[in-house]
Amino acid sequence: ENKARSEAQRVMAQVEALAEPIARVLGAQVVAVAPGPVPEALAYAAYFEAKCAPAVPLDRYVMHLIRYARCSRATLVAALIYVDRLLVFNPGFVLNTHNVHRVLLASVVLALKMHEDGSWTNRFYARVGGVSVDELFTLELSLLLLLRCELYISKETYEQFDHCLAIATAQCATRQHKDNVLRQLREEREEELLTQLREERTRDCSALSAVPQPQQSECDTHYDEEAKEQLTANAPLPPLPQTQRHREEAALALLQKQREAAAALAQVARQREEARLREASSGCPRERAAWRALSLIVNARVPCPS
């Protein structure tokens, strides 16, 4: 029993993989324009036109039909053949975004009833397709009339369309493989850039921590509070943007913040030294002159005497 269940799941997974190829085959025939007036010779085609284009993408709609209507590969191939016959027998009929979902639904229902041993009721298929029971009856009858009731499929025709579907499946698999490779390369590139940014931040933080800090006194407390607000080097990295230009801008912004933090530290050290010089300058004139000369040397305004 478990073996039969696993085999059925494997077959169903293979059939569900046909959703994207079928959507691509039908999408190649879809014209992205609003529907125009229907000719009198194609009066039944007006029943397929929806008031607005469905919000569900075509590939997701095909997957929904396969999963809940229990379609086989032969049923899907037969539905494609019916859509092709619809376009061949009615040259004025055009597939567009307003009617392709209903045409596909009616074709799948006809293929299920024609080529499967057992089928569900129209009430069930209407719930699966997202239409009312009366609408499904109308769509089924209109498609039968537009196909001139020619539902028989020869072996050569079936093999021809099955081969086309196999080619479309191979193309989709190749494109998915390319997308996966590109996605993997993009993730590796983003991880590499993130590692570089972390290493640069670590080096800058190490360089800042290696600067000798003077002994703190009570008059330096307000300078420390101001410096803590400006130090953002240890903040967590923001999430990486999606484009290369934005990632480079983020890296430059991070380096600019680190430089501003280093400048803030240097400014705080300079202000501390000046405060000490001002405190010491309140002594005798000789001491004030000595401290004034030392202040000039600290601020690099005159060369240090040998």
pTM of the model: 0.58
| pLDDT per residue of the chain (306 residues) written in tens, 0 to 9 | 677 777 777 877 888 888 888 988 888 888 866 666 766 667 888 889 888 888 999 999 999 999 898 889 999 999 999 999 999 999 888 899 999 999 999 999 999 999 888 888 999 999 999 999 999 999 999 999 999 999 999 999 999 999 999 998 888 887 766 777 777 777 777 777 777 777 777 777 776 666 555 554 544 455 455 555 555 445 454 554 455 566 677 777 877 887 888 788 878 777 777 777 666 655 556 666 666 666 665 554 444 444
| CA gap 70, 124 in Å, rounded | 12
